[in-house]
């Protein structure tokens, strides 16, 4: 699956007719393709769904290119970032090429799929802007953090899941079949009344799959932020605790701040946007352990994962349950 998607992505970039762009694109790490796995576990795997996966991965890659420039990150997934290798100007322009090519290919899909994904990218950009704003000062407001990660991370996963539902149930509708939404197909007579009901069912299913994607995305980002604190630099492919050094007050730090006395709060804030020495890292980790912060954050991620599963329980899709489990229990 990943190889097929990678080949489609490379063909999209080759269409631009500029070899340096293809060379830079080939230097990108492929990633886990969570969003593609989600789409293909909702919709059937065919040429159309694979092309949509390639578009989604172009969007994700473009957002990471821009994110690395904003954060001045020198490493991405254990490899030198594009901005570190080719400079920030080239990284930004490569991101723009990926975005524009994704939109061009997306224009060939039906309007509701194009609208869903393009709208999610707008939210992603707003979330990135909010992330930059929050990085100016230590943020102790969990609601602002959750709003930001919804926009920056979760909204795209939400719309990917909705698009998966559109692909899955549109196919049944176009064949003169419609599902009872649990997976059992029933032949129906093509009439205006049955078509209207089918549209209602597809709309309802897309909302439920979207709710799954939204909560999956929130859980995913919380776990990602936990791993930045708990895992080694070798496992992460970047320096551990790098989020805090880059000005990102993620959920573990927000909850830790809530549990500290005034003197300890000031000490924690003094570490914000600073390259930490080992004794400072040890102090943060000791306080996180003392107050059970990591366990609290993991439980919150699990709660979002449970909300995701409840949203699509009627569809009896074991693969979606496995995605949630794999995402929460991962170590990198």
218 and 184 in a common domain? yes
Phi, psi angles (nearest 5°) of residue 72: 55, 40
137 and 53 in a common domain? no
Range of the domain at 37: 1-109
255 and 323 in a common domain? yes
191 and 57 in a common domain? no
The CATH number for 49's domain is 1.10.600.10
Among 109, 141, 163, give the residue marking a domain's end: 109
pLDDT attached to residue 30: 85
173 and 97 in a common domain? no
Bridge-based pairing of strands 177-179 and 185-187 is antiparallel
Least-confidence region, from 108-122, 233-247, 299-313: 233-247
Query: What average pLDDT does range 47-51 have in this prediction?
Result: 98
The rounded distance, in Å, linking the Cα atoms of 229 and 251 is 11
pLDDT attached to residue 240: 83
Sorting pLDDT into bands at 50, 70 and 90, what band is 176? very low
Sorting pLDDT into bands at 50, 70 and 90, what band is 195? low
pLDDT attached to residue 234: 74
Sorting pLDDT into bands at 50, 70 and 90, what band is 236? confident
pLDDT attached to residue 332: 58
pLDDT attached to residue 177: 47
**99-106: long-range pairs with CB below 8 Å, 24+:** 99/58, 99/59, 99/62, 101/12, 101/13, 101/15, 101/16, 101/58, 102/12, 102/55, 102/56, 102/58, 102/59, 102/62, 105/12, 105/51, 105/54, 105/55, 105/58, 106/55
Least-confidence region, from 183-197, 213-227, 294-308: 183-197
Instruction: Specify whether the CB–CB gap between 285 and 229 falls below 8 A.
Output: yes
Among 109, 141, 173, give the residue marking a domain's end: 109
287 and 264 in a common domain? yes
pTM summary value = 0.90
Determine whether 187 is exposed, middle or buried from the number of CB atoms within 10 Å of its CB (0-12, 13-18, 19+): exposed
Strand ranges (E), the chain: 75-76, 79-80, 177-179, 185-187
Query: What average pLDDT does range 133-150 have in this prediction?
Result: 98
SS3 label, residue 177: strand
161 and 300 in a common domain? yes
33 and 116 in a common domain? no
Instruction: Kindly state the percentage of the chain with pLDDT values over 90.
Output: 81
**Interval 245-301: pLDDT, tens:** 999 999 999 999 999 999 999 999 999 999 999 999 999 999 999 999 999 999 999
Query: What average pLDDT does range 166-171 have in this prediction?
Result: 85
145 and 46 in a common domain? no
Query: What average pLDDT does range 308-313 have in this prediction?
Result: 98
50 and 127 in a common domain? no
């Amino acid at each position: 699956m990943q190889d097929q998607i990678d080949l489609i992505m490379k063909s999209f970039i080759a269409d631009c007719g500029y070899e340096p762009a293809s060379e830079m694109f080939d230097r990108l790490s492929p990633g886990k393709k969570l969003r593609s796995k989600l789409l293909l576990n909702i919709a059937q795997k065919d040429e159309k769904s694979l092309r949509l996966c390639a578009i989604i991965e172009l969007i994700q890659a473009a957002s990471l290119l821009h994110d690395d420039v904003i954060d001045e990150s020198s490493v991405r997934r254990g490899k030198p970032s594009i901005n570190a290798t080719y400079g920030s100007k080239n990284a930004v322009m490569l991101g723009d090429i990926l975005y524009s090519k994704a939109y061009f290919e997306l224009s060939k899909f039906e309007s509701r799929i194009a609208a869903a994904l393009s709208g999610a990218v707008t939210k992603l950009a707003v979330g990135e802007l909010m992330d930059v704003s929050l990085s100016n000062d230590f943020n102790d407001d969990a609601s602002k953090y959750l709003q930001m990660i919804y926009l920056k991370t979760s909204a795209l996963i939400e719309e990917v899941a909705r698009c998966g539902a559109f692909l899955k149930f549109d196919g049944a509708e176009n064949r003169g079949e419609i599902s009872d939404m649990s997976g059992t197909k029933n032949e129906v007579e093509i009439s205006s009344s049955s078509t209207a009901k089918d549209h209602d069912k597809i709309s309802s299913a897309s909302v439920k799959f979207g709710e799954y994607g939204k909560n999956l995305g929130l859980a995913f980002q919380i776990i990602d932020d936990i791993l930045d604190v708990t895992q080694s630099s070798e496992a992460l492919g970047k320096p551990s605790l790098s989020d805090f050094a880059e000005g990102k007050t993620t959920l573990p730090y927000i909850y830790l701040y809530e549990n500290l006395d005034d003197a300890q709060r000031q000490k924690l804030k003094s570490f914000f946007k600073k390259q930490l020495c080992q004794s400072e890292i040890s102090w943060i980790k000791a306080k996180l352990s003392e107050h059970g912060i990591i366990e609290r954050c993991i439980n919150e991620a699990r709660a979002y994962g449970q909300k995701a599963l409840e949203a699509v329980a009627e569809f009896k899709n074991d693969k979606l349950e496995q995605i949630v489990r794999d995402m929460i229990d991962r170590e990198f």
